[in-house]
């Protein structure tokens, strides 16, 4: 990453609205992740090389996005709804991928390192700057499921659900006995229709 941690945090604060422990974790995760998969300039020359999966939709996610420039709307940011403070950084050219998860022990470290600071959040902010990567994160090499239908760029396919009549992009349909269905019509979704307006 070309920018310093402080420069990245300024960007994070702009996007996220405040500076918090999640911004520090996300920014440091992004710096480490990009270094390990050899993506040097994710917001510039290397912007087409990087895909990131985040495993939570909280503060950290905004920081990863601000630091690296990945965006849901560009398909460079993917959300897996696991509720974990973790992310996977993937270099599409080399296919190298690392998954980085914040360790719960880091909180205890924060309390031990800065007992004089009364506020827990302040303690975390200080500690998450000072702690070494090995104290903050668990890191593993992984292989990601990523195929043509997941790539950025124009939609690879478009079909229509026989049940609701809505269009479905990029192979997200279900084929049931020769009939094309969207996922919510096939198996229920996050909403149920109550009435037409
Ligand atoms: Zn926050
Ligand atoms: Zn449907």
Domain annotation for the chain: domains and CATH numbers: 5-149 (3.30.1330.130), 154-187 (3.30.60)
- Among the bound ligands, name the one nearest to the CA of residue 173: 2
pLDDT at site 193: 87
- Among the bound ligands, name the one nearest to the CA of residue 167: 2
Scored b (16 or more CB within 10 A) or e, 65-94 reads bbbbbbeeeeebbbeeeeeebbbbbbbbee
pLDDT at site 109: 84
Cα 159 to ligand 2 centroid, rounded to whole Å: 11
pTM of the model: 0.94
d(CA 70, CA 52): 7
Cα 116 to ligand 1 centroid, rounded to whole Å: 23
Crossing angle of the two packed helices 21-36 and 59-68, in degrees rounded to 10: 40
- Among the bound ligands, name the one nearest to the CA of residue 160: 2
- Among the bound ligands, name the one nearest to the CA of residue 165: 2
On the question of pLDDT at 132 being above 90, the answer is yes
pLDDT digit string (tens) for 82-129?
A: 999 999 999 999 999 999 999 998 888 888 888 888 888 889 899 999
């Amino acid at each position: 990453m070309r920018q310093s941690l402080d420069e990245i945090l300024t960007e994070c604060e702009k996007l996220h609205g405040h500076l918090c422990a999640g911004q520090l974790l996300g920014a440091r995760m992004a710096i480490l992740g990009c270094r390990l998969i050899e993506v040097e300039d994710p917001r510039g020359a290397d912007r087409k090389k990087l895909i990131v999966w985040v495993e939570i939709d909280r503060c950290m996610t905004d920081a990863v996005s601000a630091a690296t420039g990945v965006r849901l709307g560009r398909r460079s940011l993917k959300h897996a709804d696991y509720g974990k403070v973790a992310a996977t950084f993937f270099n599409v050219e080399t296919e190298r991928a690392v998954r980085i998860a914040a360790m719960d022990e880091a909180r205890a470290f924060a309390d031990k390192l800065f007992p004089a600071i009364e506020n827990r959040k302040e303690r975390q902010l200080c500690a998450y700057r000072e702690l070494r990567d090995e104290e903050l994160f668990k890191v593993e090499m992984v292989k990601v499921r990523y195929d043509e239908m997941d790539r950025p760029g124009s939609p690879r396919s478009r079909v229509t659900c026989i049940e609701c009549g809505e269009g479905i992009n990029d192979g997200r349909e279900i084929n049931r006995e020769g009939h094309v269905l969207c996922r919510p019509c096939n198996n229920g979704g996050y909403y149920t229709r109550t009435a037409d307006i």
